[in-house]
Every structure is written in C-alpha cells, then in structure tokens.
C-alpha cells in the first residue's frame, strides 16, 4: 500500500536591485532573509548535522567537487510556519513545510510568496533612500541562467529507484502542458532561433534538461534527480527530489502539478504500472518538443514504437489513476474527497487543453501569459523580438503587488487570503511541521537549532537536547496537541514526550 | 485546509469549479452558451488590462530585460 505523499516545494527567487548594480546578489539575498527574520521573528539557526546532498539514490556517495555544496556560513533560518528560509548561492530560497495534501501545499507555497513580499518591504526600509529590491518568482533570466523550483515527495524506501525512474519520466515530460509557466524565447540550442517554435514556449525550465537521470542540479540537469537525502528514517523512507518543474504563480497549476505527481508516485509504489509501460524513446528530446509545442499536437515516440502526444500520455495517466482510485482508494493523497477533487480537476483541464487551451487563461500560467502577450503584441503591432514582450514576461512574475501582471489577471484562487495569512504564521497541522513550528513559536529562546528531522533545545543547565523527528507523519496536532497544551515549558514538554 | 475553503473569485473560476464539482451530466447547450459568455468576459477583462498596462510596464524595457541577469542557484 502506497504511503502518504507528504510533499513540499523549494523555490529560488530571482532578485534585482533598483537602481541597478550596487549590491551583489548574495548580499541582497542575505538582506532579504535577515531583514524578514529580524523584523518578524528572532532567528533560529538551521542545523546542518544531517545534511548530505551528495548522497545518490543509485547507491553511492559522490564526494567530488561536482556534488552540491552546503554553505553553512550563509544565512539560514527556520520560520514559525515550519518552513526554511535561506540564501542559496545567489538567490533567496524558501522551502515550505511538509504538507499532507496538494491543496495544503498550494496554501504554503502562496504563504512563501507573501513572506518574500514582506521581506522586500523589510529590506527596503534598510536600504538607502531611493534604492529597493525586487523579487521575481520565475526560473530563467532569458540568458541561459536557470534557478529552480524543486518539489519533494515522501516515498517508500522499498520501491526500487529504477522503477520510479521508468514510470515517472513520461509524467514529467507531459505534465508541462499544465505546469508550464510560459517563456518568451528559447535558451536551448536544440531549437533553431529562426524557428517559430522558439518564439514562446510552455515551460521556463525545459530548455535546461539534458540528461535522463543524475545528481546534478546546476548543469547537465537530469529529468530525474537522484539526490538521496530523506530527511527522515532512511530505512523506511525516500524523499524524491523533483527538479524538473516550473515555479507557478497560478494556484491551479501548483495544485495540479503536486496532486497528479503524488498520484502517479503512489501508483508506482503500488506496482500499478506493471502492465502499462509508457517509456519514451527519447525523453530529453520529448521534454523540449512538448515545451515548444503550443498546439499540443507534437508526436512523441514511445520506446515500444507506438506514437502519442503529451496530452495522450496525460489521458493515459489519468485513466490509470481513475482505475487506481477505484481499486486501491486515494488515502495516500488525503482521502477520497481530496482525491476525487484532484482527478476531476485533472480531467477538466485536459479536456480544455484539448478543445481550446486559451479557455484556461484564468487557470494556467503559460496560457495566461501567452494571451496577455499576444494581446499586447497585436495591439501594438510588435514582433516577438520586441523587448517590451520580454519585459512583460519578466513582469508577470514580479512579486510587487503594484507591478505584478499575474496579480492583475484575476486568476482563479484555490486558497483564501485568510488561509494564506494563517499559513504565514502557523505550521500545517497534519505533519511533523506542526511540532517544529509550534515549538519555535512558543519557545523561540529555547529552540536553538532546527532541521527537517530534529529540534535542538537549550534547557538551561543540562547539555543541549536534540529531539529527533525521523517520521514526517509524526508530530501532528492530533498526536501532540494535548501534550503541548499540558506543557508550560520545553523541559516539561520533553519530559512528557519521553514518558 | 478543507475543501469548503475554496474561493470562487472570478467568473472563470466559478464555471470551472462547478464543472469540477461534477456537473458532467449538465445539458450541453447551456454550457456552450455560458462558455461563449465566459470567453467574451475574458476578452473584455484582457482588453481592460491592456488599456492600462503601459502605466505599470517597466519604463525602459530594453534596459530592464538586458540587466535582468541571475547567476548561480540550485
């Protein structure tokens, strides 16, 4: 039986200083994180003890210079909503807390945007008069530099990694039709710049994928990333680290991205693909073709010689998911109601994509942006090379309320303003993030370090006490709520926990 | 978050949420009419946005696009 698909999203944000050129991206990112933390909450340091991003899911550890590096000297904080907020290379990055459902994750992803908006305001109060920092939620600067939006899904360690690779790739290639955030131009050398398909494409990220499987995230990016760092009991769990997605502003896109991937991963765990191999003949090439195919009709060749399209693959996956729901139930993605909601939305979006993608201009990022750009282009008689269209593309992702084009498009919401506000201040209730966030909120002075799978308390006289949280499903409000209410000090809490 | 917290803001979202909620047996004709109305509304909204977009667009698009460089990450 598939295990619950606990999930989270890490987003690296693009940044810019106005007027240009006075700050390094690293110091600007640090300013954003530190000004938020010092203005909104006291900093609790991130605990790096268990970090090993060089471990590879294929069973070896890569200690070479190519392994991703951890930079403990850079600013790192854990927030009261259970998320981690830090400087990753030259970007501010926010990792949401662990969430139990796709809809819950949408709320925390939006809370992440709100935290960045508040960081902008806090940073601008510290900058000299006339200077300001601007944050973008996108994945590309249009000049060959990409930064990520990574998803994470809890998986059963006993599922062979090869099986995951074989069956998730067709989904990663074809889900772009609803996860794409849209982009003017092409940064992949596989498409001739003179080709019409290079003018606008579905995905921000597809251009940057060159391999099928691997550990890299910054060059020769693989469709399936092998980072093996479960941040949980490694005997029981795997954390599938997904680097292939776009950062979405659209709530529907984020929701579908996470919900459909969760279902497909559950089906893989339950061996549901045994008689249904959708392997592509050339996945990397297919990744680029799907992104550059606005008509959604490009022919994709499967390894067994059959041909299909991205929508064809999605319809097949949906049919399999419906069968899975009937035969096995959808408890692992939050229960029947939540599962049925996901399947229904998946279907209506596929139908609309098939009949008239432009009808999704209030639901999907790539469609919304394309309709906006086409409207502006036609009205002003511009060519796709006109820099005003490229500027509009970037500005779609601008997080400043007064400049954000996304905010002006009136896109469909799945969350409420109140729900997002609550997600800025409080952790999700049904994962271990609840324990992390609640302890931080109640005892900021005594929680001296935090990590995904542990909290470290300073109780005064004793040595520091580390509380392991090796199971992402444990530490919920339902499990620990009454105990937490009983405890008036961290010392009492630890005593109650160990009794 | 529970399903009842779903917000239906725009007319577009209303239409879609109703569809998603299981209106598949609804007669085809009214849906088509409503889809057409929906399309007109979307077009009108976009026109309104295009009317005012030059006011929010970055002053110097050429310079803005050129200077937007993001190195490092992941």
In this model, does residue A468 exceed pLDDT 80? yes
d(CA A348, CA A255): 14
Contact B22, A344 (CB under 8 A): yes
pLDDT of residue A23: 78
pLDDT-derived band at A71, boundaries 50, 70, 90: very low
Residues of A in contact with B67 (CB under 8 A): 16, 20-21
d(CA A459, CA A211): 49
Q: Do A419 and B1 touch (CB under 8 A)?
A: yes
**Least CB–CB distance from A394: residue in B22, B65, B73:** B65
**Least CB–CB distance from A362: residue in B1, B10, B49:** B10
d(CA B66, CA B74): 23
The domain segmentation of chain A, as residue ranges, is 7-419, 432-498
pLDDT of residue B38: 77
Segment A375-385, tens digit of pLDDT: 999 999 999 99
d(CA B65, CA A220): 26
State both tokens at A407.
């905010």
State both tokens at A433.
């993030």
B47 shares contact with chain A (CB less than 8 Å): yes
d(CA A347, CA A109): 23
**Eight-state DSSP code of residue A448:** E
d(CA A301, CA A210): 18
pLDDT of residue A66: 34
What is the CB-side half-sphere exposure of residue A37 using CA atoms within 13 A?
Answer: 25
d(CA A179, CA A249): 10
**A95-133 core/surface letters (b: 16 or more CB in 10 A; e: else):** bbbbbbbbbbbbbbbbbbbebbbbbbebbbeebeeeebb
pLDDT of residue A41: 64
Q: According to DSSP H, which parts of A270-386 are helical?
A: 283-291, 310-328, 336-355, 365-380
d(CA A377, CA A369): 12
Q: Do A415 and B3 touch (CB under 8 A)?
A: no
Residues of B in contact with A408 (CB under 8 A): 49, 56
pLDDT of residue A193: 72
Q: Which residue has the higher pLDDT, B15 or A278?
A: A278
Given A45, A50, A56, A88, the catalytic residue = A88
pLDDT of residue B31: 57
Q: How many helices (H) and strands (E) does chain A have?
A: 15, 18
State both tokens at B50.
């295009």
Q: Specify whether A88 is catalytic.
A: yes
ipTM above 0.90, yes or no: no
Q: Do B58 and A391 touch (CB under 8 A)?
A: yes
What is the CB-side half-sphere exposure of residue B27 using CA atoms within 13 A?
Answer: 3
Q: Among 1.10.10, 1.20.120, 2.10.25, 3.30.590, what is the CATH number of A7-419?
A: 3.30.590
Closest chain B C-alpha to A78 CA, distance in angstroms: 19
Segment A289-306, tens digit of pLDDT: 999 999 999 999 999 999
pLDDT-derived band at A427, boundaries 50, 70, 90: very high
Q: Do A388 and B49 touch (CB under 8 A)?
A: no
B33 shares contact with chain A (CB less than 8 Å): no
Q: Which residue has the tokens 């779609």?
A: A396
Q: Do A341 and B1 touch (CB under 8 A)?
A: no
pLDDT-derived band at A245, boundaries 50, 70, 90: very high
B19 shares contact with chain A (CB less than 8 Å): yes
Q: Do B7 and A143 touch (CB under 8 A)?
A: no
pLDDT-derived band at A65, boundaries 50, 70, 90: very low
pLDDT of residue B39: 76
In this model, does residue A364 exceed pLDDT 90? yes
Q: Mean pLDDT, chain B, as a whole number?
A: 66
Contact A147, A135 (CB under 8 A): no
Contact A291, A201 (CB under 8 A): yes
Closest chain A C-alpha to B15 CA, distance in angstroms: 10
d(CA A76, CA A85): 6
d(CA A246, CA A57): 23
- CA geometry: angle B29, B31, B33, nearest 5 deg: 70
d(CA A382, CA A388): 9
Among residues A410, A163, A134, which one has the least CA distance to residue B45?
A410
pLDDT of residue A274: 87
pLDDT-derived band at A462, boundaries 50, 70, 90: confident
Question: What is the DSSP track for A200-248?
Answer: EES-SSGGGEEEEEES-SSSSEEEEE-B---SS-TTTEEEEEE--PPPP
Question: What is the DSSP track for B5-56?
Answer: G----SHHHHHHHHHHTTGGGS-HHHHHHHHHHHHHHHHHHHHHHHHHHHHH
B50 shares contact with chain A (CB less than 8 Å): yes
**Eight-state DSSP code of residue A2:** P
Q: Do A412 and B16 touch (CB under 8 A)?
A: yes
Contact A46, A193 (CB under 8 A): no
Closest chain A C-alpha to B44 CA, distance in angstroms: 11
Q: Do A414 and B9 touch (CB under 8 A)?
A: no
d(CA A478, CA A482): 8
B69 shares contact with chain A (CB less than 8 Å): yes
B40 shares contact with chain A (CB less than 8 Å): no
Q: Do A394 and B73 touch (CB under 8 A)?
A: no
pLDDT of residue A197: 79
d(CA A120, CA A135): 7
Residues of A in contact with B16 (CB under 8 A): 348, 362-363, 412
Q: Do B56 and A376 touch (CB under 8 A)?
A: no
Closest chain B C-alpha to A13 CA, distance in angstroms: 9
Where is mean pLDDT largest: A14-28, A57-71, A113-127?
A113-127
Among residues A395, A387, A385, which one has the least CA distance to residue A196?
A385
Q: Which residue has the higher pLDDT, A127 or A195?
A: A127
Q: Mean pLDDT, chain A, as a whole number?
A: 92
pLDDT of residue B22: 38
B57 shares contact with chain A (CB less than 8 Å): yes
What is the CB-side half-sphere exposure of residue A261 using CA atoms within 13 A?
Answer: 35
State both tokens at A238.
């795997």
pLDDT of residue B13: 36
Q: In angstroms, what is the C-alpha Rg of chain A?
A: 22
Preceding peptide of A19 cis, ω within 30°: yes
d(CA A315, CA A329): 19
B65 shares contact with chain A (CB less than 8 Å): yes
Closest chain A C-alpha to B30 CA, distance in angstroms: 17
Of the listed ranges A45-54, A167-176, A411-420, A447-456, the least confidently predicted one is: A45-54
What is the reported pTM?
Answer: 0.90
Contacts of residue A224, Cβ cutoff 8 Å, sequence gap at least 6: A164, A165, A168, A169, A172, A212, A213, A214, A244
d(CA A73, CA A81): 23
**Eight-state DSSP code of residue A280:** B
Q: Which residues pair with A200 in a beta bridge?
A: A184
Residues of A in contact with B3 (CB under 8 A): 103, 337-338, 341
- A-to-B residue pairs, Cβ atoms closer than 8 angstroms: 146
Residues of B in contact with A416 (CB under 8 A): 5, 7
Q: Do B9 and A410 touch (CB under 8 A)?
A: yes
Residues of A in contact with B7 (CB under 8 A): 413-416
- What are the backbone angles phi and psi of residue A131, rounded to the nearest 5°? -95, 145
């Amino acid at each position: 039986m598939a295990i619950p698909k606990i999930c989270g999203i890490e987003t690296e944000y693009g940044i810019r200083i106005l007027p240009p050129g006075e700050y390094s991206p690293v110091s600007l990112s640090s300013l954003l994180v530190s000004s938020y933390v010092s203005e909104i909450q006291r900093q609790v340091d991130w605990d790096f003890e268990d970090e090993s991003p060089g471990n590879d899911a294929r069973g070896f550890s890569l200690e070479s210079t190519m392994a991703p590096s951890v930079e403990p000297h850079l600013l790192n904080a854990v927030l009261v909503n259970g998320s981690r907020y830090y400087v990753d290379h030259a970007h501010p990055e926010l990792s949401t807390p662990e969430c139990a459902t796709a809809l819950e994750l949408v709320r925390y992803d939006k809370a992440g945007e709100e935290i960045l908006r508040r960081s902008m305001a806090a940073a601008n109060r510290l900058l000299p008069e006339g200077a300001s920092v601007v944050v973008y939620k996108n994945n590309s600067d249009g000049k060959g530099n990409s930064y990520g939006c990574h998803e994470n899904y809890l998986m059963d360690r006993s599922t062979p990694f090869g099986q995951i690779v074989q069956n998730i790739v067709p989904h990663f290639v074809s889900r772009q039709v609803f996860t794409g955030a849209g982009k003017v131009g092409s940064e992949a050398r596989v498409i001739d710049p003179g080709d019409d398909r290079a003018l606008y494409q579905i995905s921000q990220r597809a251009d940057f994928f060159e391999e099928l499987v691997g550990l890299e995230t910054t060059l020769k990016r693989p469709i399936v990333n092998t980072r093996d760092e479960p941040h949980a009991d490694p005997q029981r769990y795997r954390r599938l680290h997904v680097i292939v997605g776009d950062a979405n502003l659209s709530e529907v896109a984020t929701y579908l991205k996470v919900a459909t991937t969760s279902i497909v991963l559950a089906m893989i765990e339950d061996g549901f693909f045994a008689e249904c191999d959708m392997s592509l003949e050339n996945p990397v090439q297919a990744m680029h073709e799907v992104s550059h195919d606005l008509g959604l009709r490009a022919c994709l060749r499967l390894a067994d010689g059959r041909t299909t399209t991205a929508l064809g693959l999605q319809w097949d996956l949906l049919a399999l998911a419906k069968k899975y729901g009937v035969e096995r139930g959808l408890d692992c993605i939050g229960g029947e109601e939540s599962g049925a909601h996901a399947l229904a939305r998946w279907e209506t979006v596929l139908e609309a994509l098939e009949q008239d993608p432009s009808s999704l201009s209030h639901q999907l990022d790539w469609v919304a942006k394309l309709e906006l750009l086409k409207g502006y282009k036609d009205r002003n008689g511009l060519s796709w090379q006109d820099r005003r269209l490229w500027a509009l593309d970037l500005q779609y992702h601008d997080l400043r309320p007064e400049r954000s084009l996304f905010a002006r498009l009136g896109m469909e919401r799945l969350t409420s303003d109140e729900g997002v506000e609550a997600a800025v201040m409080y952790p999700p209730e049904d994962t271990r993030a609840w324990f992390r966030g609640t302890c931080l909120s109640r005892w900021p002075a005594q929680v001296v370090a935090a990590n995904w799978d542990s909290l470290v308390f300073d109780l005064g006289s004793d040595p520091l006490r580390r509380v392991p949280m090796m199971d992402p499903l444990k530490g919920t409000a339902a499990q620990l709520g009454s105990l937490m209410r009983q405890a008036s000090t961290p010392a009492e809490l630890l005593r109650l926990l160990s009794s | 978050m529970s399903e009842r917290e779903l917000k239906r803001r725009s007319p577009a979202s209303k239409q879609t949420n109703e569809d998603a909620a299981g209106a598949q047996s609804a007669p085809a004709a009214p849906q088509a009419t409503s889809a057409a109305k929906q399309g007109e509304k979307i077009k009108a909204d976009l026109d309104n946005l295009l009317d005012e977009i030059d006011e929010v667009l970055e002053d110097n698009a050429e310079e803005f696009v050129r200077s937007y460089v993001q190195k490092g990450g992941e």
